[in-house]
A and B are shown apart, each in its own frame.
Chain A
Amino acid sequence: MVTFTLNGKDIAFDGDPDTPLLWVIRDEAGLTGTKYGCGIAQCGACTVHLDGMPRRSCVTPVSTVEGSDVVTIEGVSGAEAAAVQAAWIGLDVPQCGYCQSGQIMSAVALLQLVPKPSDADIDNAMAGNICRCATYVRIRRAIHDAAATLEG
């Protein structure tokens, strides 16, 4: 039995402890905002926050999150999340939209650590999130916009 919190709710999972967190979140908890894209930590579509830090859930056995707090796109909150999502909406960042939960989770984590990121900071933090629609121009702009909002 693995216990952890998912978006603040207590979770007890008694299935295969090797199950990647991604599939527990999607198949068992029914939260489908977190996406499968590659299964090998190459694309970032499955990014969640594990104890406040970004984590690729596709390569995270659920057994390793015992006692942790897991936050998904459905539960992400706070000033950074609000600013990022508002900026995303303001710039119409998404195209197909499939990768955007992961992009947003990475962007929120970046802003929580670096309130006013440079272009290089954005490159370094976001290089693990693939967008096949190549919405990168707007992702970059949206992160700068969100930083400006947070600065007030």
Chain B
Amino acid sequence: MTMQTSRRAFLSGLGLVIGVALAPRGFAADALERGDLAGAPGVPAFNAFVRVATDGTVTVLSKHIEFGQGPYTGLATLVAEELDADWAQVRAAAAPADDKIYANLLFGIQGTGGSTAIANSYEQMRKAGATARAMLVAAAAETWGVPASEITVVKGRIAHAASGKESGFGELADLAATMPAPENPVLKDPADFVLIGTDLPKLDTVAKSTGRAVFTIDVQAEDMLVAMVAHPAHFGATVKSVDDAAARAVPGVLDVKTLPQGVAVYAENTWAALKGRAALAVDWDLSKAETRSSQQIEADYRALFAEAGHEAKKAGDVDAAFAGAGLTVIEREIVFPYLAHAPMEPLDAVLMKNADGSIDCFNGAQFPGQDRAAIAEVCGVDLSQVRINTQFAGGSFGRRAQFGSPYIREAAAVFAASGMARPVKHLWTREDDIRGGFYRPTYLHNLKGALDKDGNIVAWRQHIVGQSLMKKGEFDESTVEGAADLPYGIPNLRVTATATDLPIPVLWWRSVGHTHTGFAVESFVDELLQAGGKDPVEGRLALLGDKNPRHAGVLTRVAELADWGGPIPDGRQRGVALHKSFNTYVAEIAEVSIEGGKPRVHKVWVAVDCGQPVNPNVIRAQMEGGVGYGLGAILFDQVSLGDGGKIVQSNFHDYRSLRIHEMPEVEVAVIPSREAPTGVGEPGVPPIGPAVGNAWRRLTGQPVRRLPLSSAELA
């Protein structure tokens, strides 16, 4: 294999394409497997989403980034179904950045998030597949001189029974690409689906099981610099002065620049960049920084409960209801910490300027259009001169979806300040990630409920204090989603929110507002049901009534799956939780014991209704992963500010992740459905916390008043 040495010879991942490492300085690299560029120029394009190569390979261009939730496989399944392709011939690759052609139909711009990949693409991708199929059939009809209506397509074979003619896709690809595309191709009756609804193997599994999958951190360009930025340990701090003499003395360090985001060190390799950054002595200006500790912030938030708050939901007359006689009133406060997303791959990007003045960015972009605009602005080039090459991302959980693209602005600032003569890889360490802000905000919930003498919940008052994710003035729906839309029939209900403003940047975190509202609501309803002498499952079903059949459906199914009411091993208790998020309904039951004074979760049963299941294998995986991600957070995770506002945690030793021995067994039931499909990336997360918390309350008699559980006063 010839090693390219031009600047454009770089190792990158265009979807499932396997790149090749540059000839490294010093010694020869192993030759990595190299595939043809799927979706490359010259491969017949049927529409913006489908390419059919002359070897018969079908490549689906995914407008959604792949970071584990399975959109490459899911979107390709939708295309392949209507195309009648054989799954073995199907590949997926990242679509280029284009806010119009590749718009998320629910956002209006290109973007991945909110568990929308399948929901917004279901019809669009099926139409793309059906269109391509019609064009292949038209090409066959013309070639064979037979009526298109007599042609069949099954598992990648195009056939005309009467004449005995048969062909694969590849032989007809060039001609088919020139055929007119039908405006409104007929889509299959779901009863005729052969791929949708089956456990197809994921398209990215092999590359990710062999070390060949290429992530942004793996992109290597000829002559590339590695840059790292020293950031402050206080939010809102800025650089006052810097002594970079020692940094510049590190062999391999080429330059040091002060930027709005911190101090950038440029080096020939990652190690030199790390050493150089470590050698900086930076004096930070804290005059505008957050200098309160977490405890002070919590106390300040608590004081805000005295305010009325913005009313998000009102039913009946709450004040009158609480004033009633003969009631049992329970009041609870729950404190939620700041949470970092901590995806396995820290944030990173590779930027390079080409001879024609255009800029290529390689990164894991949830909002590629936003990133593109940020780069154009910061680097001072026209938008048309910026290309985003979306890579596999090593997890995100919301971290890579940022309006205004602050991370990419930093990367672009680093690149621009370098003079843009050489490609730059900008890399964060784990510490940059844990201390980098854009957290799930800290929230305080105050809940008050009243039971009548028969144990019925007659009044519910909930006040939420915390930062707004959307910075939308006085009220932000994402603060109260999952609380203001309570499905339970409670006659007198009021939900209010008070938004706070502080210099700690916040962001959506896998399941957004539901991360805390789901916990608060499902913990409190469970406690009220217990106080009222009701069974957690039967009690919820009664509160749901007959107007919430899909809620009731998953709850009934999970109870059946777990043999609710059956025998439980000694020393264990079970907790239930039910939550709808992103239009997907999930119920979970957790079986928990006390081990070393802390919860030990043995098994979790999950029932999920996400409409028409596209790939149950992926759905089950997302429920398993959602349970593990949510469980790690409620057991261990918090980012806290110490005295003076310095961030306490910094890496996985003090920002604990769930590990394999802490992972419960997970059993998932996917509800069969013909409803429109909805997302599965996030909805598995919200119920696990309250399910475990409810079991914990039954084990210890103590409701959860503070997360994470490891920080709380435990049994």
Contact = CB atoms under 8 A, between A and B. Distances in A.
Asked if the two chains touch in their complex, CB atoms less than 8 Å apart, one says yes
Residue of A130, A134, A140 with most chain B CB atoms under a 10 A cut-off: A134
A99 to B, nearest CB: 5
Nearest to B622: A95
A57 to B, nearest CB: 12
Interface in A43-94: 43, 45, 72-75, 85, 88-89, 92-94
- 5 tightest Cβ-Cβ pairs between the two chains A and B: A134-B628, A33-B211, A98-B394, A97-B208, A30-B21
A88 B212 CA distance: 14
Interface in B579-636: 617-618, 621, 624-629, 631-632
A17 B650 CA distance: 27
Interface residues of A, number: 67
A137 B67 contact: no
Interface string B141-161: 000000000000000000000
Interface string A119-138: 00011101111111111111
B46 interface: no
23 contacts: A9-B28, A16-B251, A19-B271, A26-B270, A30-B11, A37-B346, A37-B652, A38-B651, A39-B430, A40-B430, A72-B211, A74-B32, A93-B205, A95-B68, A95-B625, A96-B67, A96-B345, A97-B215, A104-B211, A130-B659, A132-B343, A132-B395, A136-B663
Interface string B333-349: 00000000011111000
A73 B342 CA distance: 24
A136 B624 CA distance: 8
Contacts of A118: none
A106 B325 CA distance: 63
Contact of A32 (B218, B272, B397, B666): B218
B517 interface: no
A35 interface: yes
A40 B653 contact: yes
Contact of B29 (A31, A45, A96, A134): A31
B460 to A, nearest CB: 33
A12 B651 contact: no
Interface of A: 7, 9-16, 18-20, 23, 26-40, 42-43, 45, 72-75, 85, 88-89, 92-101, 104, 122-124, 126-140
Interface string B476-515: 0000000000000000000000000000000000000000
B344 A43 contact: yes
Contacts of A131: 344, 628, 660
A42 to B, nearest CB: 4
B421 interface: no
B277 to A, nearest CB: 12
B472 interface: no
Contacts of B663: 134, 136-137, 140
Contacts of A85: 209-210
Q: Is the interface of B mostly helix, strand, loop or mixed?
A: loop
Nearest to A98: B394
B204 interface: yes
Contacts of A45: 344
A35 B345 contact: yes
Contacts of B212: 33, 74
A29 B24 contact: yes
Contacts of B215: 35, 97-98
Interface in B350-378: none
Given A9-B30, A33-B210, 14 more contacts: A12-B26, A37-B344, A73-B211, A74-B32, A89-B201, A89-B206, A89-B209, A94-B204, A94-B208, A95-B68, A95-B625, A104-B209, A131-B344, A135-B625
A45 B345 CA distance: 10
Contacts of B271: 15-16, 18-20, 23, 27
B269 interface: yes
Residue of A20, A35, A100, A137 with most chain B CB atoms under a 10 A cut-off: A137
Nearest to B618: A92
B621 A32 contact: no
Interface in B33-89: 67-70
B115 interface: no
B628 A136 contact: yes
Given A23-B271, A28-B24, A127-B661, A40 B651 contact: yes
B629 A30 contact: no
B643 interface: no
B195 interface: no
A137 B659 contact: no
Interface in B208-229: 208-215, 217-218, 220, 226
A32 to B, nearest CB: 4
A100 B213 CA distance: 10
A2 B393 CA distance: 33
B430 A38 contact: yes
B25 to A, nearest CB: 7
Nearest to B341: A132
Nearest to A134: B628
Contacts of A99: 344, 394
A26 B397 CA distance: 26
B640 interface: no
Nearest to B66: A96
A29 B209 contact: no
A98 to B, nearest CB: 3
B30 A74 contact: yes
A92 B202 contact: yes
B628 A92 contact: no
B651 to A, nearest CB: 5
A93 B209 contact: yes
A45 B208 CA distance: 13
B21 to A, nearest CB: 3
Contact of A95 (B69, B207, B270, B429): B69
Contacts of A23: 269-271
Residue of B32, B208, B395 with most chain A CB atoms under a 10 A cut-off: B208
B665 interface: yes
A90 to B, nearest CB: 8
B632 A134 contact: yes
Contacts of B251: 16
A93 B275 CA distance: 36
Contacts of A128: 659
Contacts of A137: 624, 628, 663, 665-666
Contacts of B657: 43, 130, 132
A42 B68 contact: no
Contact of A132 (B220, B275, B397): B397
A95 to B, nearest CB: 3
Interface in B236-275: 251-252, 269-272, 274-275
A27 B651 contact: no
Contacts of B392: 96-97
B314 to A, nearest CB: 38
B397 A136 contact: no
B253 to A, nearest CB: 12
A11 B27 contact: yes
A44 to B, nearest CB: 10
Nearest to B667: A137
Contacts of B67: 95-96
